Amino acid sequence: MHICTVTPISMTVGANRIVPAIAIPHPLGNPALKKDEEKALRRKIVMKALEALTTEVDGQTIFED
C-alpha cells in the first residue's frame, strides 16, 4: 500500500491501496505540532495504512478519513 501526499499521482501510476499523507516534505508528520501530537498523527496515518492492508479492494482505492 502507498502512503503519499499527492494521491492523484498515486492513482495515475497505479497504486491499489492509497492513504493520503500530510505534505510532501513531511508525509507522516507535521512540524507545527507538539512532539506527542505529531506522533499521534503519525500513528493515525499508519493505522489507516494497516486498515487498508486488511481490507479487500477490487480496484484502486483511496482510504480517506
Partner 1 sequence: MAKIKVVHYINQFFAQIGGEEKADYPAELRVGETVGPGLAFAANFKDEAEIIATIVCGDSYFNENLEKAKADILAMVKEQKPDVFIAGPAFNAGRYGVACGTIAAAVQEELGIPAVTGMYVENPGADMFKNHVYMIATKNNAAGMRGAVAKMAPLALKLGKGEPVGASAEEGYMPNGIRVNFFEKKRGSARAVDMLLKKLAGKPFETEYPMPNFDRVAPNPAVKDLAHAKIALVTSGGIVPKGNPDHIESSSASHYGEYDITGVTDLTEDTYETAHGGYDPVYANQDADRVLPIDVLRDMEKEGVIGELHHLFYTTVGNGTAVASAKAFAAEIGRKLKADGVDAVILTST
Partner 2 sequence: MKLEMGYIHIKDIRFSEESRIQDGILYVSEKAVRETALEDEKLKSVSFDIARPGASVRITPVKDVIEPRVKVEGRGGIFPGIISKTDTVGEGKTYALKGMAVVTAGKIVGFQEGVIDMTGPGAEYTPFSKTLNLVMVCGAQEGIEPHEYEKAVRLAGFRVAVYIGELARTLTPDETTVYETCGLKEGIEKYPELPRVAYVQMLQSQGLLHDTYVYGVDAKRIVPTILSPTEIMDGAIVSGNCVSACDKNPTYVHLNNPVVHDLFEQHGKTLNFVCQIITNENVYLADKQRSSDWTAKLCRMLDLDGVIVSQEGFGNPDTDLIMNCKKIEAEGIKTVIITDEYAGRDGKSQSLADADTAADAVITGGNANQVVILPKLDKVIGTLDYITKIAGASEQTLHEDGSLEVELQVITGATNETGFNKLSAR
Which stretches of the chain bind partner 2, using CB under 8 A? 5-9, 12-13, 20, 22-25
- Least distance from C-beta 22 to partner 1, angstroms? 8
55 phi and psi angles, rounded to 5 deg: -110, 130
- Determine if 48 is a binding residue for partner 1 (CB under 8 A): no
Q: Which does 7 bind (CB under 5 to 8 A by kind): partner 1, partner 2, none?
A: partner 2
Please give the grid coordinates belonging to residue 50. 494497516
Q: What residues have CB less than 8 Å from 5, skipping those under 6 apart?
A: 20, 21, 22, 23, 24, 27
- Rounded CA gap, 38 and 29, in Å? 6
Chain contacts with partner 1 (rule: CB under 8 A): 1-5, 12-17, 21, 24-29, 31, 38-39, 42-43, 45-46, 49-50, 53-59
